[in-house]
Amino acid sequence: MGELGGKTLDWVDGTILMVDQTKLPTSVEVLQIATVSDLVDAIRRLSVRGAPAIGVAGAFGVVLAAKVDGVGTEAFAAAVESIRSARPTAVNLAKMVDRVVATSDGGFDAVLAEAYAVRDDELVASVKMGDNGADLVVELTGRSDSVRALTICNTGGLASVERGTALAVIQTLHERGLLEEAVALETRPLLQGARLTAWELQQMGAPFRLIVDSAGPHLISTGSVHVVLVGADRIAANGDTANKIGTYSLALAARYSRVPFVVVAPESTIDMATVTGDDIEIEDRGDDEVVCFAGVASAPDGTHALNPAFDVTPAELITAIVTDTRVVRLDRGESLDSGQG
């Protein structure tokens, strides 16, 4: 990871370098991506994943397309569209691709400068979300130490460029000496919690335990955690939030047990063009991830699966949405209407 200087991905020597997240935690390997089709494959198989990270990957993907095809050509437009649609749920991918393409009249240098700006904006946003979220956790829980926070999937530096979103809040709590324990859901079927979040928590020296996904609502109901912190793949204009499958059941449990449920995401994840959660396309990732485990069949041959990668938590179950620029208290009737989005 040395060549990435601690980042999850970057533009280096005319190519995209990224940590291959499918290899963690057993090995830390860096992938070098030199073509748009290799980038699209990497996004689809989750070598790079997490809403902000695929937004940055998409931004650098436009640079690759500009380099190989030249801006403004038919091949450039086709390459851009293949990146844009590689995964449907996280809005950051299409949004960041569009943001960089909008500068393409300025040629390759303008496109590269905008992609770097996308990367740098995410870096700054992660630090601000960490601070805003940690302040809010103290306010909501009334705890000035010993916070126990539950989280799902991976929302750390691996899902962004550095630090991340919900896990950035946990990291900030830890750095401020306020974190008693993070509780991480393993996050079936691809184990982003077990493979990636546990690895990142270990790297930062934070106290944590790992649980099976179905233990989440139980631990919320028994008062074992003070707050639930989750990321987002797309936040609709009314606050409905798509995130990793299993998030909705945590929100239901949190509401029933009066535990604060907080969504942490950069402004770039808010999609004011999507009116409600009903309008969010949920990616279905097919049978294999469910009927096999580590390449070994875990269900009888011929079994078909339902494999929605995300679910939608209605705004009314969300206590607050924390972004890099604001805290929107949905529990107090505030909405996303004002400010950036």
Distances (CA, A) of 124 to 145, 233, 286: 26, 19, 36
Give me the least distance between CB of 144 and ligand MRU, in Å please: 27
The least distance separating ligand MRU from the CB of residue 284, rounded to whole angstroms, comes to 12
Any idea which residue has 């997240």 for tokens? 21
Residue 165 CB, nearest approach to ligand MRU (Å): 4
C-beta closer to ligand MRU: residue 232 or 237 = 232
Check: CB of residue 316 under 8 Å from CB of residue 254. Answer: no
Question: Annotated active-site positions, please?
Answer: 233
Instruction: In angstroms, give the least distance from the CB of 45 to ligand MRU.
Output: 11
* Token pair of 32 as six digits: 């070098």
Token readout for 114 is 């905008």
Dig out the tokens for 341 from the structure: 């989005």
Q: How many CB atoms lie within 10 A of CB 212?
A: 12
Q: Which is nearer to ligand MRU, 87 or 226 (CB)?
A: 87
Query: Could you say which DSSP state residue 274 is in?
Result: S
The whole-angstrom separation of Cα 264 and Cα 123 is: 15
Cis amide bond preceding 25, omega within 30: yes
Give the type of residue at 24.
L
Write out the E strands in 64-199: 147-151, 179-185
Residue 232 or 312 with smaller CB distance to ligand MRU: 232
Smaller CB distance to ligand MRU: residue 181 or 233? Answer: 233
Other C-beta atoms closer than 10 Å to the C-beta of 204 total 17
CB half-sphere exposure, 104, CA atoms < 13 A: 23
Q: How far is residue 43 from each of residues 22, 37, 40, measured CA to CA in Å?
A: 11, 10, 5
Instruction: Please state the closest distance from residue 3 (CB atom) to ligand MRU, in A.
Output: 23
Closer to ligand MRU at the Cβ: 57 or 71?
A: 57
Terminal-residue alpha carbon distance, the chain:
33
Closer to ligand MRU by CB, 50 or 260: give it: 50
Least separation in angstroms between CB 174 and ligand MRU: 17
In the bound state with ligand MRU, the residue whose beta carbon lies nearer, of 77 and 327, is 327
- Residues 290, 305: contact at Cβ < 8 Å? yes
**Cα 9 from Cα 60, distance rounded (Å):** 10
| Residues found near ligand MRU in the complex (CB under 6 A) | 46, 49-52, 90, 153, 155, 159-160, 164-165, 192, 231-233, 243-244, 309
Q: How many residues does the chain have?
A: 341
Separation CA 197–CA 185 (nearest Å): 9
- Shortest reach from residue 155's CB to ligand MRU, in Å: 4
Residue 261 burial (C-beta neighbours within 10 Å; 0-12, 13-18, 19+): buried
